[in-house]
Amino acid sequence: MSIIDDFQSHFDAAPDGVWQAPGRVNLIGEHTDYNNGFVLPFAIDRQARVAVRLRSDSVIRLRSASAEVAPIETSVDQLSSAKGWSAYLLGVAWVLRELGISVPGFDLLLESTVPSGAGLSSSAALESATALAFNELLDAGLSRKELVIVGHRAENEVVGAPTGILDQSASLLAAEGRAVFLDCLSRESELVPLDLPAAGLAMLVIDTKVSHAHADGGYSARRASCERGASALGVDSLRELSVEDLPRAQTALNEETFRRVRHIVTENARVLEVVAALRSSGPRSIGELLNASHLSMRDDFEISCPELDLAVETTQRNGAIGARMTGGGFGGSAIALIPLEREQQIRSAVLLAFSVAGFSTPDLFTVLPGPGAQRLV
Ligand code: GLA
């Protein structure tokens, strides 16, 4: 395996092991995680891999297989000041130390096939692979659910992105051919069948190449609106509201906050409907719910952008079962659930539509629900 050879050549020793963790597509349930609601992501068949060797001193050496990323040398005493790509990895080590687990120095080589900035959780893939590696190497004995929280804390407290637990949960709790139905209040999860090839379907990802950064304003502004809405309505989180509460919410809130709240409340309901539909009738039955989710994000939550809307509308017009933007929004990727036999037609239509609109050429690829994080060697 080349990551082992690369590790050996950079660090003059073999790694103690190699771990991998996937990126994710969120099938439905957007911005519901930090509102204690429901989400339904699946792990994709693209992963981050880390080869790690513990050291006997406090030195940390990090390298990425990507030529654009410079190596980093630091120490276990400087974990909390990590910046850039290293913050995801060092943030995990920092959280483990906060939990009272002693982390020595280490050498780590990273390679990843999860495109970064595409809204497919390349960062959670790094955190989850690193968390799993340290959990085993340090005999920390944390469960996967606890490792979700380790990655989530690294992202919130070291990277500084106020995200929820969706991405790390998908990466650590997923299974092949399944989606992860997660209740973000109880933190209980169940696997739901999502066998796309058996249904004659594929999941096409349209990476618009429009960059998004969750540490930036839009994401936290939405989060703040949700918190304002919950507090004005006298609930701890929007999870406590159902569609029957919406008329009351409309009277109590200003127009914009009401639309933010309506997205979360209806999106939670759609997640439950998708789970029920997948279980009773399979993936061909969820298209309208995906489409409705996109409209809600476009019009009520206002986190889409012209490129995402064009990707969604073009795939819908050309025979997709359903389509929506996925992830935090303001850029990143859309997903389209498509009949296998329509793939070429839909790809060509999207490329043409983007070219006519004068947008950058998007990246198009299909993904399959893959396994969760695991040790490879
Ligand atoms: C990003 C965040 C997640 C979640 C989604 C929106 O991916 O990291 O926690 O909030 O956006 O659903």
Catalytic residue among 167, 183, 207, 245: 167
Query: What is the position in ligand 1's atom list of the atom closest to the CA of 163?
Result: 9
Residue 150 is encoded by which pair of tokens? Answer: 């380790």
Most ligand 1 atoms within 8 A of CB, residue of 24, 25, 26, 187 to mutate: 26
What pLDDT is stored for residue 126 in this prediction?
A: 97
Helix or strand or coil: residue 215? coil
What pLDDT is stored for residue 215 in this prediction?
A: 45
167 included as an active-site residue: yes
Strands 322-325 and 201-207: unpaired
Q: How far does the centroid of ligand 1 lie from the alpha carbon of residue 31, in Å? A: 6
Query: What is the position in ligand 1's atom list of the atom closest to the CA of 119?
Result: 7
Q: How far does the centroid of ligand 1 lie from the alpha carbon of residue 130, in Å? A: 20
Whose tokens are 């390679």? That residue is 111
Backbone Cα Rg of the chain: 21
Q: Is the CB of 325 under 6 A from ligand 1?
A: no
Angle (CA) 246-328-316 rounded to 5° is 80
Q: How far does the centroid of ligand 1 lie from the alpha carbon of residue 160, in Å? A: 14
**Residue 115 has what DSSP assignment?**
P
What pLDDT is stored for residue 1 in this prediction?
A: 60
Q: Is the CB of 239 under 6 A from ligand 1?
A: no
Query: What is the position in ligand 1's atom list of the atom closest to the CA of 328?
Result: 11
Q: Tell me the C-alpha distance between 148 and 163, whole Å.
A: 12
What pLDDT is stored for residue 214 in this prediction?
A: 58
Q: Is the CB of 122 under 6 A from ligand 1?
A: no
How many angstroms separate the Cα of 329 from the Cα of each of 57, 213, 271? 42, 9, 18
Pick the closest to residue 208 from 26, 350, 66 (CA basis). Answer: 350
Q: How far does the centroid of ligand 1 lie from the alpha carbon of residue 327, in Å? A: 5
Q: Is the CB of 144 under 6 A from ligand 1?
A: no
List the pLDDT tens digit at each of the 377 positions of the chain: 699 999 999 999 999 999 999 999 999 999 999 999 999 999 999 999 999 999 999 999 999 998 888 999 999 999 988 888 999 999 999 999 999 999 999 999 999 999 998 999 999 999 999 999 999 999 999 999 999 999 999 999 999 999 999 999 999 999 999 999 999 999 999 999 999 999 999 999 999 999 876 546 899 999 999 999 999 999 999 999 999 999 999 999 999 999 999 999 999 999 999 999 999 999 999 999 999 999 999 999 999 999 999 999 999 999 999 999 999 999 999 999 999 999 999 999 999 999 999 999 999 999 999 999 999 99
Q: Is the CB of 30 under 6 A from ligand 1?
A: yes
Query: What is the position in ligand 1's atom list of the atom closest to the CA of 219?
Result: 11
What pLDDT is stored for residue 80 in this prediction?
A: 85
Residue 190 is encoded by which pair of tokens? Answer: 């169940």
- Model pTM score: 0.97
What pLDDT is stored for residue 340 in this prediction?
A: 98
pLDDT for 192-221, tens place per residue?
999 999 999 999 999 999 987 654 689 999
Residue pair 172/147 in contact by the 8 Å Cβ criterion = yes
pLDDT for 95-137, tens place per residue?
999 999 999 999 999 999 999 989 999 999 999 999 999 999 9
Q: Is the CB of 164 under 6 A from ligand 1?
A: yes
- Atom 11 of ligand 1: nearest residue by CA position: 328
Helix or strand or coil: residue 151? helix
Q: Is the CB of 33 under 6 A from ligand 1?
A: yes
Q: Label residue 119 exposed, middle or buried (CB < 10 Å: 0-12, 13-18, 19+).
A: buried
Q: Is the CB of 328 under 6 A from ligand 1?
A: yes
Domains of the chain plus CATH, in order, are 3-193 (3.30.230.10)
Neighbours of 65 (CB within 10 A): 16
For the chain, count helices (H), then strands (E): 11, 12
Query: What is the position in ligand 1's atom list of the atom closest to the CA of 123?
Result: 8
Most ligand 1 atoms within 8 A of CB, residue of 25, 30, 31, 263 to mutate: 31
Residues paired with 364 in a beta bridge: 206
Most ligand 1 atoms within 8 A of CB, residue of 28, 36, 166 to mutate: 166
- Atom 10 of ligand 1: nearest residue by CA position: 31
Residues in the chain: 377
Amino acid identity of residue 192, one-letter, is V
